[in-house]
């Protein structure tokens, strides 16, 4: 794993921090878009070694956090009432639905299985020909190729008992929504490295151009993040607004064309509801007409009542970077990772959970 340790090199980190101190002359607010970046910033303790003038705001790029309540309720309904084998990525199963989480449903006897790869779910469908298998296909552009591939794979195998409950969201429309939100005051973005690995960089040119906002495609290791922040602050200090690529060892300008082809075979763009944020036009992927047989939404006619979110939860404002998690009255009190009121307290990529593990008490202890 030499490839990793180089990007965690304390000397390089120190150099970047020193350089940041040298060039930062005024306060800047930068949003890291991806939950993976938030996770790494917190896990490596980067937030407390940055110059005080730099404020990192945690973006909506946590797939678990933005999956709508109604869709979790739908997954619950399929698992509990329709006797399907529901397969899901791990951190999705603890997110509270309107009545309970998938984890609680599992404890009550629903057949819910945790997967790392949707192809495992296809295998389960093959092994259980008399049962319906549904994969809860959550995620951004990053997980879409694998989820799409599972559908193509199931089609090739002639499986009639496999479908996906798709909840794919797209980064560029969400970034525009954040920029257009009057309360959110974001001056620059660290764009999500792995999303760009799939989709490339061309989608971001128009945003940078239109809103004159600096953007740096950034990776996830400490050295990546600090270099990304440094490149962003340089632009801000110089009054520039460019699209740059810090993560060039992984991200190619054109992205991964093969993955894009797989996505295009299975999905079409549509309006999409984001939990805590609302509906953003053309911001998600649905299973297309051609693959409708593999769309759990069409296969099982389910009418799920829309239930309002917990009134005390400010997840929407946290996801847009308007409020910090500890500004919530419930943070660490009624809302903890063990008993989350909102999704950002669940996933380790969620800003609230990240802050819970970092915690205010911690800040006091470090002063």
Partner 1 sequence: MPKLDFDVITLGHGSGGVLTNKLLESGVFDLLKNPILDEHHDGAIFELDGKLAFSTDSYVISPVFFPGGNIGELAINGTVNDLAMCGAIPKYLSLSFILEEGLTMTEFWEILLSIKAAAEKSGIFIVTGDTKVVERGKGDKIFINTSGVGQLHPKAAISAKRVQVGDKVIVSGNIATHGIAIMSVREGLDFETSIESDTINLNHTVEALLDTFGNDIHLFRDPTRGGVATVLNEIARDTKLGINIQQKDIPVIEEVYGACELLGLDPLYVANEGVFMAIVSAEIADDCLKKLQTFENGQNAAIIGEVVSEHPRQVVLQSRIGGKRVINMLVGEQLPRIC
Judged by the rule CB under 8 A, the positions of this chain that interact with partner 1 are 1, 4, 8-10, 13-14, 36, 39, 42-49, 63-64, 87, 89-94, 103, 113-116, 120, 138-140, 142-143, 194, 222, 336-338, 347-349, 356-359, 361-362, 365-366
Radius of gyration of the chain (CA): 21
Minimal distance in Å, beta carbon 157 to partner 1?
18
Minimal distance in Å, beta carbon 182 to partner 1?
30
Q: Could you tell me the two tokens for 142?
A: 């990053």
Minimal distance in Å, beta carbon 52 to partner 1?
15
Residue whose CB is less far from partner 1, 22 or 116: 116
Torsion over CA: 324, 212, 37, 143 (sign)? positive
How far is C-alpha 320 from the chain's CA centre? 13
Residue whose CB is less far from partner 1, 283 or 347: 347
Residue whose CB is less far from partner 1, 103 or 314: 103
Minimal distance in Å, beta carbon 358 to partner 1?
6
Minimal distance in Å, beta carbon 183 to partner 1?
28
Q: How far, in Å, CA of 312 to CA of 127, rounded?
A: 44
Q: How far apart are the first and last CA of the chain?
A: 35
Minimal distance in Å, beta carbon 40 to partner 1?
10
Residue whose CB is less far from partner 1, 322 or 331: 331
Residue whose CB is less far from partner 1, 214 or 255: 255
Sheet holding 112-115, edge to edge: 112-115, 85-89, 133-139, 162-169, 278-287, 267-274
Minimal distance in Å, beta carbon 4 to partner 1?
7
Residue whose CB is less far from partner 1, 90 or 278: 90
DSSP characters over 239-291:
T---EEES-TTT--TT--HHHHHHHHHHEEEEEEEETTTEEEEEEEEEE-GGG
Residue whose CB is less far from partner 1, 115 or 241: 115
Q: How far, in Å, CA of 27 to CA of 43, rounded?
A: 24
Q: Are 140 and 168 in contact (CB under 8 A)?
A: yes
């Amino acid at each position: 794993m030499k490839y990793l340790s180089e990007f965690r090199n304390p000397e390089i980190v120190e150099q970047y921090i020193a350089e940041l101190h040298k060039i930062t002359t005024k306060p800047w607010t930068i949003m890291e878009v991806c939950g993976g970046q938030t996770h790494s910033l917190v896990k490596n303790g980067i937030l407390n070694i940055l110059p005080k003038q730099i404020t990192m705001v945690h973006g909506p790029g946590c797939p678990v956090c933005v999956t709508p309540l109604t869709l979790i309720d739908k997954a619950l309904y399929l698992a509990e009432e329709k006797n399907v084998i529901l397969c899901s990525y791990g951190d999705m199963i603890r997110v509270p639905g309107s009545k309970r989480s998938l984890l609680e449903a599992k404890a009550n006897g629903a057949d819910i299985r945790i997967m790392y790869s949707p192809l495992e779910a296809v295998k389960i469908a093959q092994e259980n020909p008399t049962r319906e298998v549904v994969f809860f296909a959550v995620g951004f552009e990053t997980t879409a190729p694998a989820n799409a591939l599972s559908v193509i794979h199931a089609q090739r195998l002639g499986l009639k008992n496999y479908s996906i409950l798709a909840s794919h969201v797209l980064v560029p429309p969400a970034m525009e929504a954040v920029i257009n939100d009057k309360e959110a005051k974001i001056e620059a973005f660290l764009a999500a490295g792995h999303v760009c690995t799939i989709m490339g960089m061309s989608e971001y040119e128009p945003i940078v151009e239109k809103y004159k906002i600096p953007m740096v495609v950034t990776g996830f290791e400490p050295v990546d993040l600090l270099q990304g922040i440094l490149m962003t602050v340089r632009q801000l200090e110089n009054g520039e607004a460019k699209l740059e690529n810090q993560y060039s060892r992984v991200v190619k300008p054109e992205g991964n064309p093969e993955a894009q082809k797989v996505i295009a075979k299975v999905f079409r763009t549509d309006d999409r509801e984001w939990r805590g944020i609302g509906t953003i036009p053309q911001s998600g992927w649905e299973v297309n007409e051609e693959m409708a047989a593999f769309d759990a939404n069409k296969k099982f006619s389910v009418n799920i009542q829309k239930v309002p979110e917990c009134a005390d939860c400010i997840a929407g404002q946290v996801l847009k970077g308007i409020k910090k998690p500890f500004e919530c009255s419930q943070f660490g009190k009624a809302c903890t990772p063990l008993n989350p009121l909102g999704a950002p307290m669940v996933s380790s990529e969620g800003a609230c959970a990240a802050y819970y593990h970092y915690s205010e008490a911690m800040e006091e202890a470090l002063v």
